[in-house]
Amino acid sequence: MAMMPVLLSAAILLLLLPGTLTGSGTLSPLDVVVENSLTDAPLLNYTTHVAYRGILLGALKRLVDSNASFNFTYTENLNYGPYLESVNDVAGNDEEHTYWQLLVQSADGKITAPDVGIGCYIPSANEKIILKFTKW
């Protein structure tokens, strides 16, 4: 009989542990801005959600599912993973030297270009993601 509370605690721990260890279920809001620096199209602002330590690609896929006005495509590069090819039906083009640049704005307003793509980048809290159509 004395074993009951111990067994009960162990059972509760086992139920809670997978979520605790993986952080599953913890989603944080993430702002995404779409900017076309080659036209005077207005900035488009979206909000999506990213998993705890989750990748940007997952947050963008979640945005497609939740917002009919946002879409994107990517190609798979053997070495570097997903390459962001188009956003909202606007695609980068090698001949025209255009591409979608990945930028991150931190809480203090500073904008940087991550040194990895959408498949590797892990957004932090209070960051804003900027997808900027530009030239190289």
Name the residues that contact ligand B12, by CB under 6 A.
77, 80-84, 94, 99-102, 113-118, 120, 136
The two beta strands, 27-36 and 128-135, are: parallel
- Measure the CA–CA gap between 19 and 52, rounded to whole angstroms: 11
State which residue has the least CB distance to ligand B12. 117
Residue 49: CB minimum distance to ligand B12, A: 21
Residue 87: CB minimum distance to ligand B12, A: 9
Whichever of 82 and 123 has its CB closer to ligand B12, that residue is: 82
Whichever of 52 and 80 has its CB closer to ligand B12, that residue is: 80
Which residues are registered as beta bridge partners of 111? 105
Residue 125: CB minimum distance to ligand B12, A: 20
Residue 133: CB minimum distance to ligand B12, A: 10
| List of long-range contacts for 6-13, beta carbons under 8 Å, 24+ apart | none
Whichever of 28 and 114 has its CB closer to ligand B12, that residue is: 114
Whichever of 50 and 55 has its CB closer to ligand B12, that residue is: 55
| List of long-range contacts for 82-85, beta carbons under 8 Å, 24+ apart | 82/57, 82/117, 82/118, 82/119, 83/117, 84/117, 84/118, 84/131
